[in-house]
């Protein structure tokens, strides 16, 4: 009995992407299918080589095709093609960089640069092409962490752009490379520092990169604003520690990115607990769960926790980050897991953003009964609050398997209204309702359909 391509594709539809909520055939992941009698071979092209479920996809796809009558063997090759972030703004400064990711923190001392370096290495180990830009001009630490101190970059003879250094499988550039002495203090005003960041964006020969991580200085100053105005960021990763004071300040930094329409990829909790190098017991010396709690409160993804280990500081001083020096240590494993989660969340953001046909320009909740949205195409839509609340798309309001709505208009308080609105990247709005509900994310496309 002959096997045909349609039978194979039909069988593969049972393999669902848990994040994008579609099957791998609809998502266009199946490539290069070859059928020779009963022998079937095809590629599954992921949106990132760091996909956390790629092994699961491979085994599920092979098992599904083996069940087809006449199939004698199945060969599945896992490949990847990182998508360009669909920001809607052409990246003129860095056209060969697919995704620019800001790594930020509200305050200093949370280990942001250490997290940046290790995440960059973890993505590279997974098979991605990665760059790391040290934009922390007042405290550049990346050169020492990567073991390149006291060296200055060369310039490309044709383009005159600086050539980035390469170490541990990533390209990187830092203001520390431009100083004559590594311990020289930089006393720069905001405009001078911002100009240097712009030089690193447009004046470095980065080449083709899947991801460029940008290690920002702490806070929400000129450099952060310059970055968001100079290039279209794919998203931001926020680093915090468990203490309440760190969370409070970090939250302000997160809100800054949201206010300029930069998607929040997720929150990383660093120094989540001290790992004893003798008994390996984990002790929460600050607090525990602060980053996760913050993510839940702000309705953004929680990417994971990194424990505090003595080897992290030692590895950084030796110029070999933990992901490379001790990949099997608790912190090394945490960095690898967080990098996979980060890449996965970015794929979700890019997929959702690509579908957006119009974006809200203004949301008015002044009327207690009606919410008005003005769109960037000039149209204005009015939404009765009770109706909008009844159409919440969250899992509490809609059965994710059957699509059956679990609430009805009659069950909603007639006086319900929106008490807070916040953007979720470039593709959705989050509403906090007066009845206490606040788990639903209304995509722009959903709001357009409801408005029509």
Question: What is 93-138 written as a DSSP string?
Answer: S-TTEEEEEEEE-SSSSS-HHHHHHHHHHHHHHTT--EEEEE--TT
CA neighbor of 337 nearest in space, from 98, 116, 17, 51? 51
Helical H segments across 330-397, by residue range? 330-354, 385-390
Give the span between the Cα atoms of 305 and 327, in whole angstroms.
Answer: 15
β-sheet bridge partners, residue 267? 238, 302
Bridge partners, residue 375, by sequence: 360
**For residue 179, what pLDDT is reported?**
61
- How much is the pLDDT for 267? 95
First to last CA, the chain: 50
Inter-residue contact 416 to 389 (CB < 8 Å): yes
* Contact call for residues 424 and 407 (beta carbons, < 8 A): no
The 8-class DSSP code of residue 214 comes to: E
- CA–CA distance from 319 to each of 67, 143, 144, 170 (Å)? 51, 8, 6, 14
Question: What structural domains does the chain harbor?
Answer: 5-80 (3.30.300.130), 97-354 (3.40.50.300), 360-451 (3.30.2020.30)
How many residues are there in the chain?
Answer: 452
For the question of whether the overall pTM of this predicted structure is more than 0.85, the answer is no
Strands (E), 22-61: 22-23, 30-36, 39-46
The DSSP letter of residue 175 is: G
Residues 262 and 238: their CA atoms lie apart, in Å, by 12
* Token representation of residue 202: 């447009």
The whole-number pLDDT of residue 334 equals 95
Predicted local confidence at residue 83, as pLDDT: 87
57-76 exposure pattern, b = at least 16 Cβ within 10 A, e = fewer: beebbeebbeebeebeebeb
The reported pLDDT for the residue numbered 240 is 92
Could you say which residues of the chain have pLDDT below 50? Answer: 181-182
Contacts of 32 (CB under 8 A, 6+ apart): 41, 42, 43, 77
**Cα–Cα distance measured from residue 402 to residue 256, given in angstroms and rounded to the nearest whole number:** 38
Q: What is the C-alpha to C-alpha distance for residues 168 and 148, in angstroms, rounded to an integer?
A: 11
Q: Residue for token digits 């195409």?
A: 377
Residue 411 CB-density burial (10 A; 0-12 exposed, 13-18 middle, 19+ buried)? exposed
Got the DSSP string for 276-334? Answer: -TTT--EE-SS-SSHHHHHHHHHT--EEEEEEE-HHHHHHHHHT--HHHH-TTSHHHHH
Contact 141, 147 (CB under 8 A): no
Chain CA centroid to CA 229, Å? 19
Task: Decide: residue 246, CB within 10 A, 0-12 exposed, 13-18 middle, 19+ buried.
Answer: buried
Residues contacting residue 378 through CB under 8 Å, at least 6 positions apart: none
- Measured CA to CA, the distance from residue 171 to residue 199 in angstroms comes to 16
Q: Which pLDDT score is estimated for 1?
A: 59
Q: At what angle do helices 290-298 and 244-259 cross, to 10 degrees?
A: 30
Contacts of 330 (CB under 8 A, 6+ apart): 275, 280, 282, 307, 309
Q: What are phi and psi of 392, to 5 degrees?
A: -55, 130
């Amino acid at each position: 009995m002959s096997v045909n391509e349609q039978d194979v594709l039909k069988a593969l539809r049972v393999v669902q992407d848990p994040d994008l909520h579609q099957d791998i055939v609809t998502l266009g992941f199946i490539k290069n299918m070859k059928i020779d009698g009963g022998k079937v071979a095809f590629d599954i092209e992921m949106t990132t080589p760091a996909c956390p479920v790629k092994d699961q996809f491979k085994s599920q796809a092979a098992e599904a095709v083996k069940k087809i009558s006449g199939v004698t063997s199945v060969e599945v090759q896992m490949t990847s093609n990182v998508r360009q972030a669909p920001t809607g703004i052409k990246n003129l400064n860095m056209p060969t960089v697919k995704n620019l990711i800001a790594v930020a923190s509200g305050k200093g001392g949370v280990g942001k640069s250490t997290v940046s370096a290790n995440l960059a290495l973890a993505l590279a180990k997974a098979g991605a092409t990665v760059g790391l830009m040290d934009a922390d001009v007042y405290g550049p630490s990346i050169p020492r962490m990567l073991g390149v101190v006291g060296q200055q970059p060369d310039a490309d003879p044709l383009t005159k752009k600086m050539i980035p250094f390469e170490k541990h499988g990533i390209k990187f550039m830092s203001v520390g490379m431009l100083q004559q002495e590594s311990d020289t203090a930089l006393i720069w005003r905001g405009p001078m520092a911002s100009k240097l960041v712009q030089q690193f964006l447009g004046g470095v020969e980065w080449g083709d990169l899947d991801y460029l991580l940008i290690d920002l200085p702490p806070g929400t100053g000129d450099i952060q604003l310059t970055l968001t105005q100079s290039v279209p960021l794919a998203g931001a990763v926020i680093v915090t520690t468990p203490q309440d004071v760190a969370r409070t300040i970090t939250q302000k930094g997160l809100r800054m990115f949201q206010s300029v329409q930069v998607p929040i990829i997720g929150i990383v909790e660093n120094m989540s607990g001290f790992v004893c190098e003798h008994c390996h017991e984990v002790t929460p010396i600050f607090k525990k769960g602060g980053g996760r709690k913050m993510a839940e409160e702000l309705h953004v993804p929680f990417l994971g926790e990194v424990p505090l280990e003595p080897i992290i500081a030692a590895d950084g001083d030796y110029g070999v980050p933990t992901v490379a020096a001790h990949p099997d240590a608790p912190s090394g494993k945490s960095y690898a897991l967080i990098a996979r989660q980060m890449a996965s969340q970015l794929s979700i953001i890019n997929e959702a953003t690509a579908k957006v046909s119009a974006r809200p320009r203004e949301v008015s909740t002044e009327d207690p009964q009606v919410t008005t949205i003005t769109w960037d195409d000039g149209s204005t839509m009015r939404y009765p609050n009770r109706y909008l609340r009844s159409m919440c798309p969250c899992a509490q309001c809609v059965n994710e398997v059957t699509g059956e709505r679990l609430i009805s208009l009659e069950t909603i308080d007639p006086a319900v209204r929106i008490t807070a609105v916040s953007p979720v990247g470039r593709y959705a709005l989050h509403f906090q309702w007066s009845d206490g509900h606040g788990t639903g994310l209304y995509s722009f496309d959903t709001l357009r359909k409801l408005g029509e």
